[in-house]
Structure 1
Amino acid sequence: MLAVSEYSVELVKDPFRILAGKRYEFVIQLELDEEDELYSAEGIEIKAVYKVDGDEAGVVSYGLYEKSTGRYIDAELEDEEEEALAAFCREHYAESEN
């Protein structure tokens, strides 16, 4: 399960309409237990791109980063964490259009 402490979401502008659908960029700050293998005292964030195209939607890509240094962490979320990320994005992407 993902414990989100704060997040931001922004519509990615596509003035030339090259991409089908709309893309949303999320920056999600995580709260992790010290025993979690992803834990860092610097803080961990997920940067994700979420695509909405008609009835189809989903996470196109994501990366894990140390919050204070911006250093990329070469790790992947577990399947249930990826599902939780997709559900979180689905619930919050429309906030960027307000």
Structure 2
Amino acid sequence: MSVHDDLTAVQRCLDDLHRSLGRLEHQLGSGGLEIRRVRLDADHLRESVALLREAAAAPDAPRRPDLVTISDTPYDISLWTDSDDEGLGARDRRAP
């Protein structure tokens, strides 16, 4: 399946959920905390799927972050002349 097909399937499921929640609200009333939470969660899912649809529609959107190549060559040792060995203290002093 393509991304578009998957997003359409998710949207259909959310539409079914919305209809089912409407029936539940009719039976239970819409004032309860539980039904309000479920309704807000379902609305949040709708917004998230809409954002996914927009991101999938943008052709220039990067799919994954660009990789940064780190060289295997050793660093210049002169970069570390003024630093202490981490956790060991200075080279010319003893640990307490």
Q: Same fold (TM over 0.5)?
A: no
Greater strand percent: which structure? 1
Task: Please give the TM-score of this superposition, normalised by the length of structure 2.
Answer: 0.28
Q: Which one has the bigger helix percentage?
A: 2
